[in-house]
Structure 1
């Protein structure tokens, strides 16, 4: 399943650690937003690792994008829709 993971982390060092972690799992679509094709176990790993990085006032949000909704993504302006290699489109 594709997960949209966004964060608001105030500390620069912790934010860089979160970015490095998420870059290992998916595509950075905006500065604080990643699209990740994950199994449930991988999602739990990310949640555990980010939980050790962030402070109590920081935010990390996880949004599932599943099925046909994943195929309805589009971008405007300089945006670009990234299609994970493991995502198969079946008509």
Structure 2
């Protein structure tokens, strides 16, 4: 399994406040919140698997949903933002 990081967009719709808070904290530990329930993250396959296993233990599968989108470099380059939105930079990159 590669240790190379890939860019992901993670989004959730969690019906219960307590579960939503726990899942948000998990995602905040590895990614950047860009909307109320949307995160961007650069993750290795191992980090993603671990995150999803932890999220799955918290989910109520009949009530909640989580979506994970992996974006290739070319797709990431075509993301458009409006207003004050900024794309999350890769790890190790500092924007001044």
Q: Same fold (TM over 0.5)?
A: yes
2:79 to 43, 57, 73: 73
The 5 A counterparts of 1:38-77 are: 38-56=43-61, 57-77=63-83
**CA RMSD, Structure 1 to Structure 2 (Å):** 1.4
Name the CA distance, whole Å, in 2 between partners of 1:51 and 1:45: 10
TM-score relative to the length of structure 1: 0.87
Q: Is the 8 A contact 2:41 2:88 kept in 1?
A: no
User: Is the alpha carbon distance of 1:61 and 1:26 closer, same or farther for their aligned partners in structure 2, counting shifts above 3 Å?
Assistant: same
Question: For this pair of structures, how many residues does the alignment match?
Answer: 87
Q: 1:54, CA displacement in angstroms?
A: 1.1
Name stretches of at least 5 consecutive residues in structure 2 with no aligned partner: 1-5
Deviating above 4 A after TM superposition, structure 1's stretches of 4 or more consecutive aligned residues are: none
Q: Describe the superposition over 1:7-36 as per-residue Cα deviations: whole angstroms up to 9, x where unpaired.
A: 000100110101110011011110110001
Query: Which residue is equivalent to 2:38?
Result: 33
